[in-house]
Each structure stands twice: as structure tokens, then as C-alpha cells.
């Protein structure tokens, strides 16, 4: 009995230390990084958001087009040359976000690289909109 008691006391005295160490572990951190703030051209009721993953093969160039609804997106692979008609070209890389206002003519949305580019696009639709993209004559 005399041998058991000291061992039991040691175990009991170490137990709170073990628990304290577990409680002292840092909690997972949450980080937020501003990517984009987009102001819609006019107040717009949004009833549906369509989210699409789009893949552009190497050297693929999108035709001149527009979206009847605002589009927000983020690049997840590769690089994209993005240009709203009349504005400077932006070179989007992985993690870059973009905004295409409703009915803005998109002069460039091109994968100029030698690897596939991928992005996610969020189409902000009202209850009347069905069309996501309209290809325009050159």
C-alpha cells in the first residue's frame, strides 16, 4: 500500500499538468484577406447566385462578350489577362479576384500561358435573368 500511494499521488499531480498543457494549446487561427470590394452599378435585387468553375486551356482567348448580370470571380490556377473594354489590361494570378459589371463589354479574358487556367465565377441573377453570357460580334 505504501508503494501504491506515492505512485498514485504522482499520477494525480501530473494529470492537471497534462490537462493544462492541452488547454494551453493555441486555437486554430482565422485569417481574413481582402480580395475585392465591388460596388454594383445600380441597386439590384438578387434572387439567385450561379457559381461556375471555368477552365481555360493553354493559349485560349475568350471572344468579346458581356454578362447581363454582375459577375464576381477568383482565379484558382494559372493566369488570366482580363480587360473591360476601354480599361487597362489586368493580369490576374492565383488568388486574384475580379468583377465584371452587368452589360460591360469584356474585351479580354484570355489564358496567355502554357498551362490550364481555372477560375470560379459567381453570377448575381435577379428573378428574370436566365442568360449568363452573351457573345458579341467582333
Residue 38 to residues 34, 55, 109, 130, Cα–Cα distance (Å): 12, 23, 18, 22
pLDDT digits (tens, 9 = 90+) for 33-51: 999 999 988 777 899 999 9
Structural domains of the chain, count = 1
What does the pLDDT average to over 65-70? 96
pLDDT digits (tens, 9 = 90+) for 77-115: 999 999 999 999 999 999 999 999 999 999 999 999 999
Domain presence at residue 79: yes
Domain presence at residue 64: yes
**Residue 22 belongs to what H/E stretch?**
helix 4-24
Domain presence at residue 128: yes
Domain presence at residue 53: yes
CATH number at residue 65: 2.60.120.10
Domain presence at residue 37: no
Domain presence at residue 101: yes
Please answer whether residues 40 and 110 qualify as being in contact, where contact means their C-beta atoms are separated by less than 8 angstroms. no
| Entry pTM | 0.76
pLDDT of residue 61: 96
Expressed as residue numbers, the domain containing 101 is: 48-135
Domain presence at residue 14: no
Amino acid at each position: 500500500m505504501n508503494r501504491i500511494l506515492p505512485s498514485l499521488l504522482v499520477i494525480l499531480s501530473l494529470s492537471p499538468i497534462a490537462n493544462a498543457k492541452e488547454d494551453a494549446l493555441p486555437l486554430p487561427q482565422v485569417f481574413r484577406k481582402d480580395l475585392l470590394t465591388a460596388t454594383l452599378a445600380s441597386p439590384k435585387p438578387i434572387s439567385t447566385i450561379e457559381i461556375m468553375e471555368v477552365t481555360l486551356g493553354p493559349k485560349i482567348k475568350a471572344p468579346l462578350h458581356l454578362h447581363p448580370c454582375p459577375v464576381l470571380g477568383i482565379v484558382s490556377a494559372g493566369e488570366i489577362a482580363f480587360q473591360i473594354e476601354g480599361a487597362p489590361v489586368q493580369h490576374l494570378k492565383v488568388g486574384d479576384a475580379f468583377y465584371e459589371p452587368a452589360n460591360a463589354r469584356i474585351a479580354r479574358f484570355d489564358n496567355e500561358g502554357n498551362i490550364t487556367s481555372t477560375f470560379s465565377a459567381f453570377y448575381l441573377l435577379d428573378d428574370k435573368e436566365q442568360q449568363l453570357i452573351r457573345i458579341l460580334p467582333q
